[in-house]
Structures are given as structure tokens and as C-alpha cells.
Structure 1
Amino acid sequence: MSHNISKTILKPFLLVIALLTFGITTLSTTINASADSDSDAHYSAVYNEAKKHLGSRYVFGAVGPTNFDCSGFTQYVYKKSVSKKIPRTAQAQYNGTKKVSKKNVQKGDLVYFGGSKSSISHVGMYIGNGKMIDSQNRGVVTENVYAPWWHVVGFSRPATLTFD
């Protein structure tokens, strides 16, 4: 009789263990996939989305899809191209994304301007060769990062991008 009781108790116990193991494995896979979600983010997608909006009007506070301010533009481009959410304002984008040094800046990184790292007033997207695409008083344009009217205060990488 005690042999049957052991089997009766053991079967549900093993079933619970099997379900827990399956659940933990599934959760672990989901967490790892989320952590690596940037891994299929291609620079070409970000760059092509940004280029689509060249010539769009600058409007303070605008977040797209036809008018932008500087941080509304970078936020829109990352969300639309690689489904990456970044904060709304230039200062919040700098504060909330991974910093990179000038020597390690890559295409697709964000470049920030202002009085200091705690007083950021503008952001653009670096596209290589000292150039960026940004939204400013002339609208969405391609221009030099190191123009005399800009004071670069830092760079950040909102997503790890792959290059084709």
C-alpha cells in the first residue's frame, strides 16, 4: 500500500518539477532575447529612416512624422527604424543612454551640444566623416558636427548597431 502512495505523490511532484524547469528555461530565453534585442539593429535602417526626413520642418516640441525638434527627430528615427525607445529631450537622451568617447564614436551614435554635460541643448545623429543629421532651425539637414556654432559636449550609443 505504501508503494502506491509513493507513486501517487511522486507523479504530481515530478510534474511540478518538470513544469518549473520548462518555465525557468522559457523565461531565461526570453530575458536573453530582450537583452540582445539591439543585436539585429542595422545602421542602414537607422540611417535610411533619418534620410527620409531630410528637408522636414523644425517645430519646437514636434516629434514627427513630418515636423521635428532635435530630440523628437532622434527619438522618432530610433523608434521607427529599430524599435528602440529613447527618452524625449536631448538632456534625457544623454542621461539615459550609454556614453561613448569621441575616439570610439560610430555611425548612428548621438552627438550632444550645449554648455556642458549637464546643460545640453541640442542632439544630432552621427553619420560618419564628422557629419550628422539633425533637426534645427533650417529643418532636418546634414551638417558638420564641428561647425563653429556648435559646442560638442558628448556622445552616446542608444543601440548597438551592426554594419552591412
Structure 2
Amino acid sequence: MKKSFTKLTVAFATLVALLFVGVMSNNHNNVSHAESRAQFSRVYRVAKSKLGSPYVYGAAGANAFDCSGFTSYIYRNSLGVNLPRTAQQQFHSTRRVARRHLRKGDLVFIGSSRRNIYHVGMFIGRGKMIDAQNRGVIRERVHAPWWHVVAYGRVA
């Protein structure tokens, strides 16, 4: 009887330790998620301030933008992150993210293929992005009929 009680106590202690480690791991993940939210808030604040700015091919701010000039501008002026100049170069400089792992602040790459990226916007949640296009800087659906989403990328 004493042996089985000892085994049961050891098993229970092991279970408690595993649960504790799991809870601590989850708390750690929540902390990093909150940091991501804070960073997104900073980037989105800059992006939102440019709503309505006109589209001008090759423009990178502060009063007019093309798509990659816009994403470069908002990351540089909010987090100090320098993104390459073109949508294709930004595609190559970001880490690929699956659609199911998409987070606010990730970049949405649009084109005919991974070798032909011609547009980029920033995901803002609820199926929408903010981007600079022929109607200027606007919020719009990511999966609009006129876009062919090729990939998503996370800015390091």
C-alpha cells in the first residue's frame, strides 16, 4: 500500500509540475503577443494618419505614396525599420506567414506569382488592409476580386 501511495504521489507531483510549466509557457506567449499589439498600434497610427493621401508612382511620402513607398514609410516612421523600396524586394525581405497565422501588421503581397509581385499592403485585421493604390491611401478588403494575393510576410 505504501509503495502505490508513493507512486501516486510522484505521478501527481509530476502532473502538477507539467501543468505549471504549461501555464508559465502560455503566460510568456501572451506577453510577446501584447508586445506585438503595441508595435502594431504604432505602425497603424502612422498608416492611419496618411489615409486620403494621393497615389503617385514612385512616391515614398510624406504627402504622396505608391504601395511600397507607403509600407516603407509607415515602418520607418513608427518602428525605425527600413524596408526595401519595391514590393518585390519587400516580399524577399520578409518572413513568409501562412494565412491562418496572419497577424495585424503583416504585409500582404499581390501579384501574378511569387516572381511577379506588383502590390503590397499592410494587414489591419478583419480581412482588411491599408494600402496606397490608384484611389490613394485607403482601407479595403484583402481578398477583393481585383487582387490576387500571392503571399503574406512578417516584418522582422
Partner amino acid, structure 2, of 1:158: V
List per-residue Cα deviations over 1:79-122 (Å, max 9, x = no partner).
00000011110000001111111111100000000101110000
Name the structure 1 match of 2:5.
none
Partner amino acid, structure 1, of 2:145: P
The offset of 1:42, in angstroms, is 1.1
Mapped to 2, the partners of 1:39 and 1:144 lie a distance apart of: 22
1:2-151 to 2 correspondences below 5 Å: 42-151=39-148
The count of aligned residue pairs is: 122
For the structure 1 residues 44 and 60, does the alpha-carbon distance in structure 2 shift closer, same or farther, using more than 3 Å as the test?
Answer: same
Gaps of 5+ in 1: 1-37, 160-164
Partner amino acid, structure 2, of 1:154: A
Mapped to 2, the partners of 1:50 and 1:106 lie a distance apart of: 16
Mapped to 2, the partners of 1:81 and 1:40 lie a distance apart of: 13
- Secondary structure at 1:64's aligned position in 2? coil
List per-residue Cα deviations over 1:59-94 (Å, max 9, x = no partner).
000000000000000000000000001111000000
The offset of 1:41, in angstroms, is 6.4
The offset of 1:40, in angstroms, is 9.9
8 Å Cα contact 1:41/1:82 also seen in 2 = no
Mapped to 2, the partners of 1:102 and 1:43 lie a distance apart of: 18
CA RMSD for the aligned pairs?
1.5
Percentage of matched positions with identical amino acids: 56
TM-score (norm 2): 0.75
Return the structure number with greater relative CO, CA threshold 8 A, min gap 6. 1
Partner amino acid, structure 2, of 1:141: I
TM-score (norm 1): 0.72
Which stretches of structure 1, 4 residues or more, deviate above 2 A after TM superposition? Answer: 38-41
Mapped to 1, the partners of 2:152 and 2:36 lie a distance apart of: 20
